[in-house]
Structure 1
Amino acid sequence: MSLHDAALTALAAWRAPSERQERLRQRYVTHLEAEPGGVWRDCVPDHLTAGALVLDATGEHVLLNLHKKARRWFHFGGHCEPADATLLDVAAREAREESGVPGLQLDPEPAQLDEHVVPFCSPGVEVHHLDVRFVAYAPDTAQPAVSDESLDVRWWPVSHPPDLEAEMYELIAIGRSRLGTGS
């Protein structure tokens, strides 16, 4: 099965937790039905991306990266690559590459969908990333490292994170809830 088909199957079956997430799920499914290359970076103006929010095993700390181009703190994520079989594979690869942490345990169910404009993805074109976000849990011994795509990678207490976009606070709450540590 191709990555496109795996993504379409996963998103068609995903049960969105809210009306807003359901609207996004429908948008993603419609995009994939219309675009056979809808998972690839060269599908403009819209393409799927995937990533993972990394929490420690207690759910009390979140690992974030200061994105080099955006100069904002985010979860780890990025574009699909030919070797990826599923969106979960994309998220796992991106989280490992960008965090430097081996042994991440990913929850296989998508946690959140987020559509956002990325001005630096394809110069001169307004590109929309149709991001599928997962949650990952780091081993106790996790020692993060800064990748070429980041200015910094740092653990933050969930009670005192840096200034984040609203969707990131929601994603942290989802990850903590799945871990059973509250919201």
Structure 2
Amino acid sequence: MSTPPMVDESPRGDADGWTVLHADAVAVLTAWTPTSPDAAEATDRTLDLLSAGPIAMSREHRAGHVTASALVFDATGTQVLLCLHGKFHKWVQLGGHCESGDRTLAGAALREATEESGITGLSIDPTPIDVDVHPVACQGGSLHHDVRFAVFAPVGATERVSVESEALGWFPPEHLPQPLAGGTARLVTPGLAAFRRASPHPVS
């Protein structure tokens, strides 16, 4: 597989971190072509949220905040890595809150996928595969405006369970485990399309 464009994720915790990340989120979602009607509606809602400014990237924004997640594919494109989430006990793609040191949404998703999988050498397609808005318990009740990406593991990748998960598991995309978080299944089709774009030999 050819390597998709990599995201520069050198640490950056300066005061304008949220501003930089917010600008990237606006640019990415404004230019993006949604992969489904649900994703189109969620994108419009997220762009409305982003009109609040950089605070919309932070979990402190109770009205809702942007998060980033990743559907991780193995090197063959025949398995995806999911985690059994430690808080709501469902299988879900890897991901979570943005941080002020993140420069891009894709970078935030790649950081989260690396932290939660324990896999080094992950690569990411910087074009989203989905956007989803769903309620969460943050700050006593909020919304996650989750921007999802396809991430690719290197050959021989070995996962390691993090404190965020009860378990990690590789599953065929056509046979995802239960109980499964809402919205995770719809990542498979656009995720496989991203895998094929990144691969010199399309997956059958």
* TM, length-normalised to structure 1: 0.92
What is the total number of aligned residue pairs between the two structures?
A: 179
Query: Deviations along 1:9-59, whole A, 9 cap, x unmatched?
Result: 111111113332222111111110124300001001200000111011221
Which residue of 91, 101, 113 corresponds with 1:83?
101
Alpha-carbon distance between aligned partners in 1 of 2:161 and 2:181, rounded to the nearest angstrom? 21
Which residue of 140, 161, 184 corresponds with 1:146?
161
What residue is the counterpart of 2:49 in the other structure?
31
Query: Deviations along 1:35-94, whole A, 9 cap, x unmatched?
Result: 430000100120000011101122111111111011111111011111100101100000
What residue ranges of structure 1 are gaps of 5+ in the alignment?
none
Query: Larger deviation: 15-24 or 91-100?
Result: 15-24
1:165, CA displacement in angstroms?
3.6
Alpha-carbon distance between aligned partners in 1 of 2:97 and 2:182, rounded to the nearest angstrom? 22
Alpha-carbon distance between aligned partners in 1 of 2:37 and 2:175, rounded to the nearest angstrom? 29
* TM, length-normalised to structure 2: 0.83
Residue identity in the other structure for 1:136? V
1:153, CA displacement in angstroms?
0.9
Q: What does 1:129-140 correspond to in 2, within 5 Å? A: 129-140=144-155
Aligned-partner SS, 1:34: coil
Runs of 4+ in 1 over 4 A off after TM superposition: none
What residue is the counterpart of 1:5 in the other structure?
23
- Please state which structure has a larger fraction of its residues in strand: 1
- When the two chains are superposed, the root-mean-square deviation of aligned CA atoms in Å is 1.4
| Residue 18, structure 1, aligned to residue 16, structure 2 | no
What residue is the counterpart of 1:128 in the other structure?
143
Aligned-partner SS, 2:148: strand
Aligned-partner SS, 1:117: strand
What residue ranges of structure 2 are gaps of 5+ in the alignment?
1-18, 197-202
1:161, CA displacement in angstroms?
1.8
Query: Deviations along 1:131-179, whole A, 9 cap, x unmatched?
Result: 0000001111100000011111111122322022452111022211222
Q: What does 1:1-183 correspond to in 2, within 5 Å? A: 2-119=20-137, 121-122=138-139, 125-163=140-178, 164-180=180-196, 181=203
Aligned-partner SS, 1:167: coil
Residue identity in the other structure for 1:134? F
Alpha-carbon distance between aligned partners in 1 of 2:41 and 2:65, rounded to the nearest angstrom? 16
Aligned-partner SS, 1:144: coil
